[in-house]
């Protein structure tokens, strides 16, 4: 949620107990249709610092 507007920003983060659980979720849910959306799951990557 955007804190200023209250509108969904369209993404979220999930933590898993094990890497294996995360890999399984990506395999099973990436591309899965939910409501009017297609889920895209990928590993988070750190932002580059200047």
State the pLDDT at residue 28.
Answer: 95
Give Cβ neighbours of residue 41 (< 8 Å, ≥ 6 apart): 25, 26, 29, 30
For residue 38, the 8-state DSSP code is E
pLDDT in tens, 2-46: 888 988 878 889 999 999 999 999 999 999 998 888 999 999 998
Distance CA 31, CA 40 (A): 6
Contact (CB, 8 A) for 23 and 14: no
Statement: residue 50 has pLDDT above 80:
no
Give Cβ neighbours of residue 16 (< 8 Å, ≥ 6 apart): 22, 25
Residue 41: C-alpha distances to residues 4, 19, 49 (Å): 26, 14, 24
């Amino acid at each position: 949620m955007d804190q200023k507007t209250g509108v969904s920003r369209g993404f979220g983060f999930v933590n898993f107990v094990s890497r294996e659980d995360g890999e399984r979720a990506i395999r099973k849910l990436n591309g899965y249709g939910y409501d009017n959306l297609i889920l895209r799951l990928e590993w988070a990557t750190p932002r580059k610092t200047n």
